[in-house]
């Protein structure tokens, strides 16, 4: 049995982008260059890069009249060819020695953190409207971390072996799944786009990748990085365009063997149903991994400190315009500290600047697209018209230049108000004030208010209350934070995912996720096989 050294991954340091720093001038220069040019993004099928006639424009959400490129729309034939091509390279890729596969993705991580750092960060600022810090922690750091930590998990998994029996050697071979993996990814994290195909590929699988229309700008950079790192053509094929058409073809293929999805709950349920309906055409029972929506909470105990609670609420609720699956959107505050805490939150929120991501003073920029803008505006309109709540800050929306929505704070007297229950996916938080003496009962309300169970935070200086809440909210969140905001998971430190309507909780950025992309085979060798059928007890 080959002894495998465990690879020790380290988190990519987050750069500061302080005034006068080299990284800041690199980003400014790259931004100007990329924002004022155009890129045409092809389909990636094997070694072919196909620019189709059918194209869609790429428009920065904060400046939606400036076309920065186009992406290609795949037709039925393209998708079929992409799968055919995936399957053609399957054998050579899965037979490649694991250490060579690891080397490719480690090289990709180095390219992300060095040569391509400014480009992929700026791509995320332009294409997904993240401010510099949000782009840095996603596209540069989290992506590099996923690639490196996955290598570490692979070495741990391959080392997990059964014991030998008397006269027998037992080996678990961590085979990739037969067939191909279909990876469908969201707009909101460049790193998730890259990781959902890279993690399965690292384990020896071939992957058909369908990125979000609103992440295509950085999807291209990811494919270029993989290619430069030496990933053989066809291991990851990228097809963009109509998600329904592409999914229909992928999910009705007999060799479809796994779905690696991140996105909304509704879409995931649709895909799961399609897989269920097609179950008899597949060779294998497909693996289904989906990380989906959230309605994430911050619960402040009466002992909570005002400043840290206010910071958790503002950062948790408004960073990346509330478009993180982990963003705080329902806040529970005890009456005794409500005046002071709410005033502090409003006072600080007033200081938030919003605009283009290239102005480094801006904490917030635009929301991702017209539909998101409409959806969020409709929630705000609903709140404005409701007798059950008051908007105490924000509430204005303007899509004339970009899709800008003010950070918005709602207070409701109804703990089950619509905006306390549904995922808005925008910069809108709703506060409910509770009676201090009922804080324990309130935890039942926290648990039962929404169908989701992704992230949550409990802010308290009281050890007993922390212990109580940690137990009481055991199924309310897959990532539970004490005295922090409920977002900002770091690969290797806070494996990420939730249950209920929030997903299959296979914890992206952990060994658990990689285990879904292997089908272990036990190989048992008997050294001196028995030569007689009778057992001793028969004598």
- Interacting residues with ligand NAD (CB under 6 A): 184-189, 192, 210, 212-213, 243-244, 247, 262-264, 267, 270-271, 291-294, 325, 423, 425, 454, 496-497, 502-503
Cβ-based nearer residue to ligand NAD, 473 or 508: 508
> 184 with 263: CB under 8 angstroms?
yes
Catalytic residue among 12, 136, 255, 291: 291
CA nearest to 417, candidates 505, 295, 305, 299: 295
* Closest distance to ligand NAD from the beta carbon of 423 (Å): 6
Per-residue exposure over 182-207, b if at least 16 CB sit within 10 Å of its own CB, e if not: bbbbbbbbbbbbbbbbbbbbbbbbbb
Cβ-based nearer residue to ligand NAD, 63 or 423: 423
* Closest distance to ligand NAD from the beta carbon of 351 (Å): 27
Cβ-based nearer residue to ligand NAD, 123 or 263: 263
How many Å is the maximal CA-CA distance in the chain? 92
Residue number of the CB closest to ligand NAD reads: 263
E strand spans, 263-363 = 287-291, 296-300, 328-334
Cα 340 from Cα 363, distance rounded (Å): 24
Burial (CB < 10 A; 0-12, 13-18, 19+), residue 148, is: buried
* Closest distance to ligand NAD from the beta carbon of 132 (Å): 20
* Closest distance to ligand NAD from the beta carbon of 282 (Å): 18
* Closest distance to ligand NAD from the beta carbon of 412 (Å): 22
CA nearest to 9, candidates 103, 96, 106: 106
Cβ-based nearer residue to ligand NAD, 71 or 417: 71
Beta bridge partners of 182: 208, 259
Cβ-based nearer residue to ligand NAD, 196 or 342: 196
Burial (CB < 10 A; 0-12, 13-18, 19+), residue 290, is: buried
Cα 168 from Cα 422, distance rounded (Å): 56
Residue 102 appears among annotated catalytic residues: no
What six digits make up the tokens of 203? Answer: 């384990």
CA nearest to 82, candidates 54, 49, 41, 40: 49
CA nearest to 411, candidates 335, 354, 350, 485: 335
Sign of the dihedral through C-alpha 476, 479, 483, 486: negative
* Closest distance to ligand NAD from the beta carbon of 267 (Å): 4
Size of the chain in residues: 539
* Closest distance to ligand NAD from the beta carbon of 361 (Å): 27
Cβ atoms within 10 Å of 303's Cβ, excluding its own: 17
* Closest distance to ligand NAD from the beta carbon of 297 (Å): 14
Cβ-based nearer residue to ligand NAD, 79 or 184: 184
Cα 296 from Cα 455, distance rounded (Å): 5
What six digits make up the tokens of 170? Answer: 């037992």
> 155 with 2: CB under 8 angstroms?
no
Cα 200 from Cα 508, distance rounded (Å): 12
CA nearest to 208, candidates 267, 275, 261, 133: 261
CA nearest to 63, candidates 310, 371, 402: 402
> 124 with 138: CB under 8 angstroms?
yes
Cβ-based nearer residue to ligand NAD, 60 or 204: 60
Cβ-based nearer residue to ligand NAD, 222 or 267: 267
* Closest distance to ligand NAD from the beta carbon of 363 (Å): 21
Cβ-based nearer residue to ligand NAD, 170 or 499: 499
Catalytic residue among 325, 389, 397, 486: 325
Residue 340 appears among annotated catalytic residues: no
Residues acting as catalytic residues: 291, 325
């Amino acid at each position: 049995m080959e002894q495998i050294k465990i690879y020790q991954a380290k988190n990519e340091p987050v750069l500061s982008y302080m005034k006068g720093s080299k990284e800041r001038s690199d980003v400014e220069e790259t931004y100007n260059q990329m924002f004022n040019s155009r890129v045409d993004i092809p389909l990636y099928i094997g070694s072919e890069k196909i620019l189709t006639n059918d194209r869609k424009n790429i428009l920065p959400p904060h400046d939606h009249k400036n076309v920065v490129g186009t992406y290609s729309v795949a037709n039925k034939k393209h998708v079929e060819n992409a799968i055919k091509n995936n399957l053609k390279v399957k054998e050579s890729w899965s037979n490649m020695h694991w250490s060579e596969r690891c080397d490719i993705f480690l090289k990709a991580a180095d390219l992300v953190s060095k040569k391509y750092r400014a480009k992929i960060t700026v791509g995320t600022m332009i294409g997904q409207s993240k401010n510099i810090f949000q782009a840095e922690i996603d596209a540069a750091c989290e992506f590099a971390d996923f690639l490196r930590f996955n290598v570490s998990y692979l070495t741990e998994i391959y080392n997990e072996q059964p014991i030998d029996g008397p006269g027998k050697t037992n080996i678990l071979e961590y085979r990739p799944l037969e067939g191909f993996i279909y990876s469908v990814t969201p707009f909101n994290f460049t790193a998730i786009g890259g990781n959902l195909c890279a993690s399965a590929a690292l384990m020896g699988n071939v992957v058909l990748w369908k990125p979000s229309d609103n992440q295509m700008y950085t999807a291209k950079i990811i494919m270029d990085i993989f290619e430069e790192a030496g990933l053989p053509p066809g291991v990851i094929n990228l097809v963009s365009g109509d998600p329904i058409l592409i999914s229909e073809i992928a999910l009705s293929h007999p060799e479809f063997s796994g779905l690696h999805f991140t996105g909304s709950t509704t879409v995931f349920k649709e895909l799961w149903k399609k897989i269920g309906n097609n179950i008899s055409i597949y060779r294998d029972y497909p693996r289904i991994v989906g990380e989906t929506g959230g309605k994430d909470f911050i619960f402040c105990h009466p002992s909570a400190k005002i400043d840290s609670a206010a910071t958790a609420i503002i950062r948790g609720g408004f960073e990346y315009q509330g478009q993180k699956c982990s963003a705080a959107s329902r806040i529970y505050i005890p009456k005794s500290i409500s005046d002071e805490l709410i005033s502090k939150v409003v006072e600080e929120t007033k200081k938030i600047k919003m605009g283009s991501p290239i102005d480094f003073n801006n904490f917030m920029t635009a929301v991702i697209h017209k539909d998101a803008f409409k959806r969020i505006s409709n929630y705000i309109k609903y709140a404005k018209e409701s007798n059950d709540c008051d908007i105490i800050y924000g509430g204005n929306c303007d899509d004339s230049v970009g899709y800008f929505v003010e950070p918005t704070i709602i207070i409701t007297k109804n703990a089950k108000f619509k905006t306390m229950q549904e995922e808005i996916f925008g910069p809108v938080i709703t506060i409910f004030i509770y009676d201090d003496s009922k804080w324990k009962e309130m935890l039942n309300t926290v648990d039962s208010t929404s169908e989701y169970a992704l992230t949550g935070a409990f802010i308290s200086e009281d050890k007993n209350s922390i212990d109580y809440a940690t137990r009481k909210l055991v199924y309310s969140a897959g990532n539970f934070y004490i005295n922090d905001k409920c977002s900002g998971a770091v690969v290797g430190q806070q494996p990420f995912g939730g249950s209920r309507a929030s997903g299959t909780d296979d914890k992206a950025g952990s060994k658990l996720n990689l285990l879904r992309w292997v089908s272990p085979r036990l190989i048992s060798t008997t050294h001196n096989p028995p030569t007689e059928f009778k057992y001793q007890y028969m004598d």
